[in-house]
Structure 1
Amino acid sequence: MTGRGRRAVLPPADHRTEPPLAPDGLVVTVVNKAGYEMPFDFAELPVAELMQRSLARVFAARSAGWNSHMTAQASWITVKAFARFVSELEHPPEDLGDLTTAMLKRWRAAHIGTNSGKSVLRQVRPLLRADPRLADGPVGEELARRIPKQVPVKQSYGEDERGRVLLAAQRQFRTARLRIRENTRLLERWRAGDVTEGSREGRLGEILDHLARTGYVPHTVSPSGAVNVRERRLLGGTGSECTWGRLFLSRSELTALAVLLTARFGWNLSVYDRLPAPTTAPSAGGTATVTYQIQVEKRRQGGGWWFSTENATDSGADSAGRLITQALEATAHGRALAARLEPGTDFLMVARMHYPGKRHQHTERPRPVGPLSFGIGNGDAQQWGIRHGLGGAPFQRTRRTAVTREGRPLQHAQGTHESIYMLPDEHVQRASRSVFEAGAKEALAQAQAVMFAGAIADTPDPGHGQTVAADCADETSSPWPDAQGGCGADFMLCLACPNARVHPGHHPRLAHLHRELTSLRSVLPDRSWHERWSEHVLRLEDLRDKVGSVAWNAALARVNDEDRTLVHLLLKGELAP
């Protein structure tokens, strides 16, 4: 089955796949998922012919798993960089088998220091290792050396930057959507016969109907090829907003919509090339809400994981589904025209091209249908960012901002979410400081809670009451009072009370108690011991540190039978306060 749920059609019985490597051994042709071919001529490389052919062979073998021209072009760029490096050596090798360890060390040293260089090393290494002559020996070991991970440099937007990007996108898309809505209402009135024939609105309605059916306003073409718009005075001009823009988004306006979708859902730029129009699903509750099912294609996830379905509910102005509703409204005429011109076409991201007859340059996106194009290209993103004074394409940083604000993976793995998006991001780091501070304070409070909270005295005070573990300076101000106003704490908690006073007479019994508690650890389950005794041991060890290990160990020699009996009763829980 295909990703859209239709049964796949088998190719004809005589179908044969052409090998990527041409018979001359120098040209490799890569066919992408859209069916476009892209040739790569290795004769252009500034290296010996033998090396050209060897590089072509490994490139062709590697291309068997590619379905994207962007992947092929990225690899081709690194191959050309490697060829230039080889050609500039003092004694350039004739073939891949002539590469030495010293040459590869120089190649690595020239690129290992930058992110782009590491990317080049990662692209070239599998190509070289695919040649049997470079798989083993010192050269193979050099190629097998670990390449450090790239250090992420892209950062999410701060609140001010994010607000500026979203404001620019919202203004442009809202203007386009309201323009299309107004003209759509007039077109619907004209089709329903609610407009006076021959009136200005009637004539505009007729033009809009022609535009919706063809993608063009009525026009003539002169012998020189110039397009002359009819009724230009009625339309208010010949610009796109006055002509075809009345019912269709421009590519810049479609890019603004993509920016808003990325900010809301965290989608990659490549998702928009083949994003199907969302379908509606039953909504729980009343009929005032509508839930959309959106099919997202992510080919980098690998076979079997290309498609996922996301739900978005339109329940009000601030809901995620409201933007989907607006996107469907703004692209309705474009989607209807595309389906009429080429049945079965149902992409959400559709725009009217400014120059419909221009050759299609974007081989990764679906082919244009009539005057309509689909998806968003890197060039569109760059131009949109420059037009709005953002200095470049906003999609990577907008996606990063959406992911970090959401705090969970969006179309990527948990490891990628943590190592690439969250940990290196400066805004996440700054926002985490208060969390780390709170955690440190909590840890300190827990540590202080299991410390000896009383005071150490040199001699007993006759005015203090005696307990099994220490003397009590004030029983009436206990942190654990009983119903009668006295102390209701277990005797083991005495060392956690600020009223506790410990003098040398207590040392033998407490040192013996510490030794007995420690010995229990070897016979009790870890969980049981930690739940019952660990805090008391920590307080005793804190007290031991305050008293001094020498005095503490010496006190063990003074343990008597009374101390042993009381400790035994304490451990059995038979002593009540």
Structure 2
Amino acid sequence: MSRRGKRAELPPADHRTEQPLGPDGLVVKVVNKAGYTKEFDFTALPVPEPMRRSLARLYAAQSRAWTSHETAKTCWSRVMTFATFLSELESTPEDLDGVTVAVLKRWRARHVSTVTGKAVLSTVRLLLQQDPRFASGPVTEELLRRFPAAKPSKQSYEGDERKRVVLAAQRQFRAAWLRISENTRLLRAWRAAELEEDSRDWRLGEVLDYLARTGDVPRSILPSGQPHVDHRNLLGGAGPEQTWGRLFLSREELTALAVLLTDRFAWNLKVYDRMSAPTTGPSVGEKTAITYQVQVEKHRAGRGRWFSTENITDLSADSPGRLITQALAATAHGRDLAARLAPGTDLLMVSRLYAPARAAHRHQDTERPRPVGPLSFGIAYNDAQRWSKAHGLGGSPFQRTRRTTVTREGAPRQHSQSTNERVYVLPDEHVQRASRSVFADGAEEALKQAEAAVFGGHLADAPDPAHEQTVTADCEDETTSPWPTPEGGCGADFMLCLACKNAYIHPGHHPRLALLHRQLESLRSVLDDGAWNEQWQDHSLRLEDLRDKVGDAVWDAALARADSDDHALVHLLVKGDLAP
């Protein structure tokens, strides 16, 4: 059964899956998830033809698992890098069986020192190891030789850096949201016939209705062939904010919204290209709250795990769902127009193109949805770069913003726990600096616990008449006990004598203490771990520390000398029947 409950149908009997490798063995076709095909011509590689055919065959076999042209282009560029390297050798191998250990060593040395180089090494190694000629032997061992993991090139933002990015996005998107909201209220009043006919607001509402239906305000063509905005005086100008921007976001404003969403939810930039408009679900116990169900596409999760649903609630102005509410309001007219122009289209991240005809003609990105009329969907990499440059931020903010949110929240977002720790948390310099005090406090606490679980007294060769005898040790001065009573004496039980600085142990104590240690270890087999650890673990560790100080041979010999009095006292100690 399919996901929607419709029984799956078998393909026609004559159906054949198109092979990625062309008949000539040199052209590979890769079909992405959207159904577009892109060809990669291996005749462009600067190596002999047998080598081209081998690399094309391996590339084609690998491409069967790809659903993205971005993945295909990345692998292609790295194969080209490898081929260029081979072509620059004193003697270029005719085929892969001519690649020697020395060649692979030089290849590794050229790339292993950089993050990008390690990525190239990893891709080419994965490709080559599929060839039977690299099944075993010294060349294979060199090919598979491990190299240090690449340190992430992007780090999370410092507090002030993040504030600067978020503030820039908030200012731009909020201004756009307020502009669209104000014009939307006027349009609704016009459609509800609430405005005085022929008044300024009524005439503006008429223009807004035209804009909502067509994606642009009325325009005339001048004798020179140039378009002219009608009602220029009524609109207050001919710029985007006075014309189509009254109901639609620009690409820069949509990018600002994406930055805010990434900062709030740590969504990947690619998510915005095909994110459906959130749907609403019931909010249990809340009449004023709105809970949105947002479908998030995880491109690298693998087949069958591409989508997950997040529930996000709008409770108040500071709640995460409020940004979703504002995003829906700011894109409402764009989504309505897209659904009319291309029925079935319901993508959240929609903006209005500055020059629709030119942009649609130039759209070559097979990974992102194609424009619909004057509308564009998602955020291109160039959009992120332009937005960053316009605000003086020096580089796309999305990777660093996502990393900042993930490390700030401390929990995985659209990825596994191991990826969260390995890729985001542990390599992040800001997390490392912030963790130093935590590690220091933990080390000090561990030291205190370790010190508390060792023998705290002194070893003596014989009893001292001035010391008071106890069940487990001789006490030098109970008035200076670490556990005093209100009356001034010692309030510790006899087991804690072994942790006291006033305790003295001489050979007469050894048989009883060795017997006590064996008895505590026997309790481990009849008590659950939690109960034994809580009641007996520290005492057992102190006895083990004492045994190490005395010596195993002396300790074992003393155990054999334990008499009936020792057995009786140990039995009472373990039962807790001996009061201090």
1:362–1:377 contact (8 Å) kept in structure 2: no
Closer, same or farther: CA 190–162 of 1 in aligned 2, 3 Å = same
The correspondence of residues 384-399 of structure 1 with structure 2, limited to 5 A, is 384-399=387-402
**Cα 1:202/1:8, change in 2 over 3 Å:** farther
Cα distance change on mapping 1:556 and 1:99 into 2, 3 Å: closer
Cα-to-partner distance string for 1:118-156 (whole Å, 9 max, x where unaligned): 111121223323333444444333333334422223211
Local SS of the residue matching 1:316? coil
SS at match of 1:241: coil
Correspondence for 2:506: 507
Give per-residue Cα distances to partners, 1:210-264, cap 9 Å, x unaligned. 1100111111345876332222222222221111111001111111111111111
Give the aligned partner of residue 427 of structure 2: 424
8 Å contact kept, 1:289–1:315: yes
SS at match of 2:389: helix
Which range moves more in the overlay, 125-134 or 419-428? Answer: 125-134
User: Which of residues 443, 446, 455 in structure 1 aligns to 2:449?
Assistant: 446
Distance in 2 of aligned mates of 1:536 and 1:270 = 57
Give, in whole Å, the separation in 2 of the partners of 1:142 and 1:97. Answer: 14
CA contact (8 A) 2:517 2:543 kept: no
> Partner of 2:178 in structure 1?
178
What does residue range 248-397 of structure 1 map to in structure 2 within 5 Å? 248-357=248-357, 358=359, 359=361, 360-397=363-400
1:90-143 C-alpha deviation (Å, 9 max, x unpaired) = 111223333333222221221122211111112122332333344444433333
Is the contact between residue 249 and residue 350 of structure 1 (CA under 8 Å) also seen in structure 2? yes
Change (3 A) 1:16 1:340: farther
1:143–1:458 distance in 2 versus 1, CA, 3 Å:
closer
Q: Secondary structure at the match of 1:570?
A: helix
- Per-residue deviation at 1:455? 6.3
Q: Look up the SS of the partner of 1:156 in the other structure.
A: coil
Q: Which amino acid aligns with 1:19?
A: Q
How much does 1:377 deviate?
1.3
Range moving further from structure 2, 200-209 or 531-540: 531-540
1:525 counterpart residue number: 524
Alignment check: 8 A CA contact 1:468 1:491 kept = yes
Matches of 1:10 and 1:354, distance apart in 2:
46
Q: Identify if the C-alpha distance between structure 1 residues 308 and 7 changes in structure 2 by more than 3 Å, giving closer, same or farther.
A: farther
Q: What TM-score, normalized to structure 2?
A: 0.89
* Unmatched tracts of structure 2, length 5 or more: none
Contact 2:275 2:349 in 1 (8 A): yes
38-47 vs 292-301, greater mean Cα deviation: 38-47
Task: Give me the identity figure in percent.
Answer: 63
Q: 2: CA distance between counterparts of 1:131 and 1:461?
A: 81
Deviations 1:476-528 (A, max 9, x none): 67555679875554322223345x342xxx50233223322344466443574
- For the residues of structure 2 that align with 1:495 and 1:98, how far apart are their CA atoms? 72
When residues 134 and 449 of structure 1 are mapped into structure 2, their CA distance, relative to the original with a 3 A threshold, is closer
Other-structure match for 1:45:
45
Q: Which amino acid aligns with 1:112?
A: V
* Candidates 542, 545, 565, aligned match of 1:539: 542
Q: Kindly provide the CA deviation profile for residues 519-556 of structure 1, in whole angstroms up to 9, marking residues without a partner as x.
A: 446644357465554433443455677xx648x98799
Q: How does 1:194-209 map to 2 (within 5 A)?
A: 194-209=194-209
- Give the secondary-structure state (helix, strand or coil) at the position aligned to 1:301: coil
In the alignment, is the contact (CA less than 8 A) between 2:461 and 2:507 conserved in 1?
no
Structure 2 SS opposite 1:418: helix
CA–CA distance in structure 1, aligned partners of residues 557 and 98 of structure 2: 79
Q: Structure 2 CA distance, aligned partners of 1:387 and 1:301?
A: 34
Contact 1:38 1:69 in 2 (8 A): yes
Counterpart for residue 402 of structure 1: 405
Alignment partner of 1:38: what SS?
strand
1:109 aligns with 109
Q: Which residue of 2 aligns with 1:60?
A: 60
Task: Work out whether residues 283 and 289 of structure 1, in 8 Å CA contact, stay in contact via their aligned partners in 2.
Answer: yes
Distance 2:195 2:23 in 1: 67
Whether contact under 8 Å (1:100, 1:139) holds in the other structure is: yes
Q: What is aligned with 1:160?
A: 160
Give SS of 2:197's match: coil
Q: Check whether the contact 1:291–1:321 (CA below 8 A) recurs between aligned residues.
A: yes
Distance 1:553 1:91, change over 3 A: closer
Root-mean-square deviation over aligned CA pairs: 3.1
Distance 1:555 1:51 in 2: 73
Do the aligned partners of 1:511 and 1:556 also contact (CA within 8 Å) in 2? no
Residue 482 to residue 136, structure 1, CA distance change in 2 (3 Å): closer
Q: Secondary structure at the match of 1:397?
A: helix
Q: Which amino acid aligns with 1:381?
A: A
Cα distance, 1:231–1:8 mapped onto 2, change above 3 Å = farther
SS across alignment from 2:436: helix
Alpha carbons of structure 1 residues 6 and 193: separation in structure 2 relative to 1, 3 Å: farther
The answer as to whether partners of 1:508 and 1:559 remain within 8 angstroms in 2 is no
Letter in 2 for 1:169: A
Deviation at 1:576, TM superposition (A): 3.6
Q: What residue identity is the alignment partner of 1:120? A: V
3-state SS of paired residue (1:255): helix
Separation (CA, whole Å) in 2 of partners of 1:5 and 1:399: 36
1:555–1:418 distance in 2 versus 1, CA, 3 Å: closer
Letter in 1 for 2:445: E
Q: CA shift at 1:344, angstroms?
A: 0.8
TM-superposed CA distance for 1:19, in Å, is 3.0
Distance 1:8 1:212, change over 3 A: farther
Q: Post-superposition shift, 1:9?
A: 8.0
What amino acid is aligned across from residue 365 of structure 1 in structure 2?
R
Instruction: Measure, in 2, the Cα distance between the counterparts of 1:167 and 1:469.
Output: 67
Pair 418,449 (structure 1): closer, same or farther in 2 beyond 3 Å: same
Distance 1:568 1:302, change over 3 A: same
Matching residue's letter, 2:27: V
